[in-house]
Structure 1
Amino acid sequence: MTTSPDPYVLTRRSMLTAIAAAAVAGSAVVSATPRALAADNDEPAAEAARRLPLTVVNHSGEFANRSVHLYIVGSQGDRQVRVTRRGTVERVKLSDNRDNGFTDYAIPLAARGSTELRLPHMSGRIYVALGHKLKFKAVRGADGNVALQHPAGWVESDPNYPVLHDFVEFTHNESGMFCNTTMVDMFSVPMMIRLNGARDHSTGRLRDGGRDRVFRTLRNNPDFSRLVVGERRVIAPSHGLDNGRFPQHYYDPYIDRVWNTYRNKRLVVRTDAGTFTGQVRDHRLTFTGPASVSFAKPSTRDVLFCDGALAAPNDGVTGPVAAVLGAGFNRSTLVSHRQQPTTRAAGFYDTAVTNHYARVIHAATTNGKAYGFAFDDVADWASYIQDTRPQHMHLTLTPF
Structure 2
Amino acid sequence: MTSTEFPMFSRRRLLASMAGAAVAGSALVSAVPSAVAATDDDLAAEAARGLLLTIDNNTGEFANRSVHLYIVGSKGDRQVRVTRRGALAPVKLSDNRANGFTDYAIPLAARGRTTLRLPFMSGRIYVALGHKLKFKAVGGGDGRAALQHPAGWVESDPNYPVLHDFVEFTHNAAGMFCNTTMVDMFSVPMMIRLNGAKDHNTGRLRDGGRARVFRALRNHPEFSRLVVGDRRVIAPSHGLDTGRFPKNYFDPYIDRVWDTYRDKRLLVRTDAGTFTGRVRDHRLTFDGPASVSFAKPSTRDVLFCDGALAAPNDGLTGPVAAVLGAGFNRSTLVSHRKQPTVRAAAFYDTAVTNHYARAIHAATTNGKAYGFAFDDVADWASYIQDTAPRHMHLTLTPF
The interval holding the TM-score normalised by the smaller chain is: over 0.9
Shift of 1:49: 4.7
Q: Tell me if structure 1 keeps the 8 A contact 2:59–2:397.
A: yes
**TM-score (structure 1 length as normaliser):** 0.96
Secondary structure, aligned partner of 2:28: strand
Letter in 2 for 1:315: D
Secondary structure, aligned partner of 2:143: coil
Matches within 5 A, 1:142-157: 142-157=141-156
Shift of 1:7: 3.0
Shift of 1:262: 0.1
The match for 2:5 is 4
Secondary structure, aligned partner of 2:358: helix
**Residues 342-396 of structure 1 deviation map (CA, whole Å, 9 limit, x = unaligned):** 1000000000000000000000000000000000000000000000000000000
After superposition, the Cα gap between the structure-2 partners of 1:15 and 1:328, relative to the gap in structure 1 and judged at 3 Å, is farther
The CA distance in 2 between the partners of 1:300 and 1:15, in whole Å, is 26
Shift of 1:43: 1.5
Shift of 1:8: 1.1
The CA distance in 2 between the partners of 1:178 and 1:253, in whole Å, is 37
Secondary structure, aligned partner of 1:264: coil
Secondary structure, aligned partner of 1:8: coil
The match for 2:223 is 224
Matches within 5 A, 1:119-198: 119-198=118-197
Q: Tell me if structure 1 keeps the 8 A contact 2:177–2:386.
A: yes
Q: Tell me if structure 2 keeps the 8 A contact 1:217–1:360.
A: yes
Matches within 5 A, 1:1-400: 1-9=2-10, 10-14=12-16, 18-19=19-20, 22-32=21-31, 38-39=39-40, 43-44=44-45, 47-400=46-399
Secondary structure, aligned partner of 1:212: helix
Q: Tell me if structure 1 keeps the 8 A contact 2:37–2:76.
A: no
The CA distance in 1 between the partners of 2:166 and 2:210, in whole Å, is 16
Shift of 1:266: 0.2
Q: Tell me if structure 1 keeps the 8 A contact 2:128–2:163.
A: yes
Shift of 1:31: 2.0
After superposition, the Cα gap between the structure-2 partners of 1:13 and 1:294, relative to the gap in structure 1 and judged at 3 Å, is farther
Gapped runs of 5+ residues in structure 1? Answer: none
Q: Tell me if structure 1 keeps the 8 A contact 2:60–2:398.
A: yes
Q: Tell me if structure 2 keeps the 8 A contact 1:286–1:293.
A: yes
Shift of 1:144: 2.5
Shift of 1:147: 1.2
The CA distance in 1 between the partners of 2:47 and 2:146, in whole Å, is 25
Letter in 1 for 2:70: Y
**Residues 38-91 of structure 1 deviation map (CA, whole Å, 9 limit, x = unaligned):** 4469713xx345310000000001100000000000001111000000000000
**TM-score (structure 2 length as normaliser):** 0.96
The CA distance in 1 between the partners of 2:324 and 2:74, in whole Å, is 31
Secondary structure, aligned partner of 1:43: helix
The CA distance in 1 between the partners of 2:115 and 2:394, in whole Å, is 11
Secondary structure, aligned partner of 2:124: strand
The CA distance in 2 between the partners of 1:226 and 1:169, in whole Å, is 26
Q: Tell me if structure 2 keeps the 8 A contact 1:82–1:91.
A: yes
Q: Tell me if structure 2 keeps the 8 A contact 1:74–1:81.
A: yes
Provide the alpha-carbon RMSD of the alignment: 1.5
The CA distance in 2 between the partners of 1:5 and 1:135, in whole Å, is 34
Secondary structure, aligned partner of 1:379: helix
- Identity, % of aligned positions: 82
Shift of 1:4: 3.3
The CA distance in 1 between the partners of 2:25 and 2:144, in whole Å, is 19
After superposition, the Cα gap between the structure-2 partners of 1:201 and 1:232, relative to the gap in structure 1 and judged at 3 Å, is same
Secondary structure, aligned partner of 2:311: coil
Q: Tell me if structure 2 keeps the 8 A contact 1:151–1:158.
A: yes
Q: Tell me if structure 1 keeps the 8 A contact 2:38–2:76.
A: no
Secondary structure, aligned partner of 1:257: helix
The CA distance in 1 between the partners of 2:242 and 2:284, in whole Å, is 30
The CA distance in 2 between the partners of 1:305 and 1:212, in whole Å, is 25
**Residues 259-312 of structure 1 deviation map (CA, whole Å, 9 limit, x = unaligned):** 000000000000011100000000000000000000000000000000000000
The CA distance in 2 between the partners of 1:302 and 1:5, in whole Å, is 21
The CA distance in 2 between the partners of 1:332 and 1:75, in whole Å, is 36
Gapped runs of 5+ residues in structure 2? Answer: none
The CA distance in 2 between the partners of 1:204 and 1:384, in whole Å, is 8
The CA distance in 1 between the partners of 2:109 and 2:123, in whole Å, is 22
Letter in 2 for 1:97: N
Letter in 1 for 2:261: Y
After superposition, the Cα gap between the structure-2 partners of 1:225 and 1:15, relative to the gap in structure 1 and judged at 3 Å, is farther
Shift of 1:37: 5.2
Letter in 2 for 1:269: V
Q: Tell me if structure 2 keeps the 8 A contact 1:2–1:272.
A: no
The CA distance in 2 between the partners of 1:79 and 1:38, in whole Å, is 9
The CA distance in 1 between the partners of 2:3 and 2:390, in whole Å, is 29
